[in-house]
Amino acid sequence: MLTRKQYELLVYIDKHLKLTGFSPSFEEMKDALSLKSKSGIHRLISALEERGYLGRRHHRARALEVLRLPDNMEQRAPDAEAASPATFAPNVIQGDFSPRRSGVQTASDSAAVQLPMYGRIAAGLPIEALRDAGTMVDVPMALLGGGEHYALEVAGDSMIEAGIFDGDTVLIRKGEIAETGQIVVALVDDNEVTLKRLRRRGNSVALEPCNAQLKPQIYSADRVKVQGKLIGLMRRY
Q: What is the CATH number of the domain that holds 30?
A: 1.10.10.10
Question: Is the C-alpha dihedral spanning 154, 185, 194, 46 positive or negative?
Answer: negative
Query: Is residue 162 domain-resident?
Result: yes
State which of 32, 67, 83 marks the end of a domain. Answer: 83
Q: Are residues 32 and 78 in the same domain?
A: yes
CATH code, domain carrying 212: 2.10.109.10
Q: What is the pLDDT at residue 74?
A: 46
Query: Is residue 99 domain-resident?
Result: no
What's the CA gap between 205 and 207, in Å, rounded?
7
Cβ atoms 68, 61 nearer than 8 A: no
Query: Is residue 133 domain-resident?
Result: yes
What's the CA gap between 3 and 92, in Å, rounded?
8
What's the CA gap between 71 and 181, in Å, rounded?
19
Which residues are tagged catalytic? Answer: 158, 196
Stated pTM of the model: 0.52
- 162/78: higher pLDDT: 162
Q: What is the pLDDT at residue 1?
A: 66
Query: Is residue 107 domain-resident?
Result: no
What's the CA gap between 153 and 48, in Å, rounded?
25
pLDDT one-digit tens code per residue, 25-77: 888 888 899 888 888 888 888 888 888 888 876 555 567 888 888 765 644 33
Q: Are residues 56 and 157 in the same domain?
A: no
Query: Is residue 14 domain-resident?
Result: yes
Cβ atoms 26, 38 nearer than 8 A: yes
Query: Is residue 166 domain-resident?
Result: yes
User: Counting Cβ atoms within 10 Å, is residue 70 exposed (0-12), middle (13-18) or buried (19+)?
Assistant: middle
E-strand spans in the chain? 54-56, 64-66, 92-94, 112-122, 136-140, 149-155, 169-174, 183-188, 192-201, 204-208, 217-220, 224-235
Residue 100 C-alpha from the chain's centroid: 25
What's the CA gap between 124 and 215, in Å, rounded?
10
Query: Is residue 106 domain-resident?
Result: no
Q: What is the pLDDT at residue 72?
A: 59
Q: What is the pLDDT at residue 132?
A: 55
- 96/49: higher pLDDT: 49
Cβ atoms 135, 117 nearer than 8 A: yes
- Count of domains in the chain? 2
Residue 11 lies in domain: 4-83
Q: Are residues 229 and 116 in the same domain?
A: yes
Burial annotation 89-110 (CB, 10 A radius, 16+ → b, else e): eebbbeeebebbeeeeeeeeee
Q: Are residues 226 and 117 in the same domain?
A: yes
Q: Are residues 119 and 36 in the same domain?
A: no
Cβ atoms 154, 195 nearer than 8 A: yes
Q: Are residues 230 and 126 in the same domain?
A: yes
- How far is CA 171 from each of CA 9, 41, 119, 186, rounded to the nearest angstrom? 24, 27, 12, 14
What mean pLDDT do residues 10-19 have?
87
Q: Are residues 67 and 117 in the same domain?
A: no
